[in-house]
Chains A and B, each alone.
Chain A
Amino acid sequence: MRTKDISQKIGFAALFMCMLVTLFFLGAIIYFIAARGIKVISWEFLTQVPKAGMTQGGVAPAIVGTLYITLGAIAVSLPLGLACAIYLCEYSPKGIFVNIIRMSINNLAGVPSVVFGLFGLAVFVKFFKFGVSILSGSLTLGILALPVVISATQEALTAVPLSLREASLALGATKWETIKKIVLPTALPGILTGIILSIGRVAGETAPILFTAATFYTRRYPDSVFSEVMALPYHIYALMTEGAHPKEQTAIAYGCALILLVLVLAISGAAIFIRQRQRIRNA
């Protein structure tokens, strides 16, 4: 009895320590990025184009570029991923074939992002001749995000109780009506979780946009989906590896990292807000 008690206490203490360590790293990341980044953040930094070999002015084109590419990627992965998950979950005959597809999709999630970058370069930039552009970058990142969207959606769809589907069908609804009006709304919070996760992944990716969308330096804002753009992650990478003023550039890189962090948190926050509202409506 005693030893059981003690081992339980030790167990809990160990779990608690692990959580503390995780929290510590999380806090440290936020603290260091924020402490260093905040120094260069100003209205000018957020709204101006870069000047004087990246050491002055702002990073507005990179913020705009990241927003465009991220939204573009969601616009690509959301409809495709939803449709794919709905088909796999609700329509496809169960069997080996579908299991292989599922496994492939899961494997796709493990492919290194630089491979997606090369794929994008070969297919969208070169083959379809979209050039280095928002379109190519969004498509590449969209495909990168697909596995996350698909598996989260599948999970959410499978979690919708059979009893609700039966209730709908028993009222004379077709399968499609049941999916559209009952299954999808009920699964929405779970689907949104997947989208939140994929946004986080997409907005911060560097490698896939390296060859497909990003340019280190432009003074212009994009005027169409065929424009190349600056993007925050790539900008950080470039600031830290190129150029003639390492000291100033490093400071700006931290500023960019902070903005990226806030951007991702803001997009995720919006999605979480929608999800909570839907949960309340569903409850």
Chain B
Amino acid sequence: MHNNIKMKAENVDFFYGPRQALKDINLDICEKRVTAIIGPSGCGKSTFIRLLNRMNELIPNTSLKGRILLDGEDIFGQQVDAVGIRRRVGMVFQKPNPFPKSIFENVSYGLHVNGVKDKKLIEKKVVSSLEKAALWDDIKDRLHESALKLSGGQQQRLCIARCLAVEPEVLLFDEPCASLDPISTGKIEELIMELKKYYTIVIVTHNMQQAARISDHTAFFLLGELIEMGKTQDIFTAPKDKRTEDYITGRFG
């Protein structure tokens, strides 16, 4: 398997105030693959994934050491604008968080803030994004109804559609199914498998079966450290580190 490296963490330390949440993380994220991040609660999975689109800098008193590269360029570099990075690296959150607006407005929002003015184009992109997120058939005749009327699973797919509309290169998912029922979860998983043809995907998950089902690579975090990373198959069948094995076999976590 020949993989291009899309994103790369180099010697990343991250601190909330004096507390170190990530310790010397080195990790490669391959283009058009699904990378899963697993590990027990509080081990720094969200902290790490939120560094990849610079969401963590919204929290005061944090500090970062090391570099995070997107196509070889440091996303925290002097000349680099966080807004531009977030356009290229989209994010879907743990709890569906649609705007209290119509379905259409939710999807078109990202286009508006990125300066797309052409109404025809916006409409086209809204439809295609909803199609890509496998939501179009559910909602095609209620585009202008409030997004908050959708079910949890539909809301999460809407959040994915909203993300796709701005045509990011990388998609980050932070436990996207944590608040969903098994059927909705299945739909999101199918969707992620489909999306990896076009996007580089990083997914944080609590659910090891999920990681095993949908990811190509898996990284195991523990107490802020990257313990082991490799092909998902290898991690789940022949983990090199004892702690990985303990976690995967359910001995803690």
Q: Which residues of A contact B (CB under 8 A)?
A: 94, 161, 163-174, 177, 181-182, 185-186, 281-283
With known contacts A172-B110, A172-B114, A283-B146, A94–B60 Cβ distance under 8 A? yes
Contacts of A167 in B (CB 8 A): 93, 97-99, 159, 162
**Interface pair A169/B86, CB less than 8 Å apart:** yes
Closest to B87 in A: A172
Most buried by B among A163, A166, A167, A177: A167
Q: State in angstroms the CA–CA spacing of A166 and B95 once bound together.
A: 12
Kindly state the separation between the CA atoms of A163 and B55 in the bound complex, as whole angstroms: 12
Interface size of B as a range: 20 to 34
Q: A185 to B55, alpha carbons, bound, how many Å?
A: 23
Q: Is B163 an interface residue (CB 8 A)?
A: yes
B205 contacts the other chain (CB 8 A)? no
**Binary A-proximity of B96-111 (CB < 8 A = 1, otherwise 0):** 0111110000000110
Q: Contacts A94-B60, A164-B99, A181-B113 known; A172 to B93 CB distance under 8 Å?
A: no
Contact status B100-A170, CB under 8 Å: no
Q: How far is the CA of A161 from the CA of B93 in the complex (A)?
A: 13
Q: A168 to B90: give the CA distance in the assembly, Å.
A: 11
Contacting pair A171 B97 (CB below 8 A)? no
Given contacts A164-B100, A167-B93, 6 further A-B contacts (CB under 8 A): A166-B58, A171-B110, A173-B110, A181-B112, A185-B100, A185-B101
Q: Which residues of B contact A161 (CB under 8 A)?
A: 97
The answer to whether B223 has its CB under 8 Å from any CB of chain A is no
Residues of A within 8 A of B148 (CB): 283
Residues of B within 8 A of A186 (CB): 99-100
**Which residue of chain A is the closest to B165 with respect to CB atoms?**
A171
Distance, CA A144 to CA B179, complexed state (A): 47
- In the complex, what's the smallest C-beta–C-beta distance from B129 to chain A, in angstroms? 12
Given the complex of chains A and B, what is the CA–CA distance between A94 and B60 in angstroms?
9
Are A177 and B113 interface neighbours, CB within 8 A?
yes
Q: Are B162 and A283 in contact (CB under 8 A)?
A: no
Encode B77-94 as 1/0 by CB contact (under 8 A) with A: 000000110110011010
Q: In the complex, which of the residues A94, A171, A182 contacts B166, with contact meaning CB atoms closer than 8 Å?
A: A171
Tell me whether B244 is interfacial, beta carbon within 8 Å.
Answer: no
Min CB distance A256 to B, Å, is 42
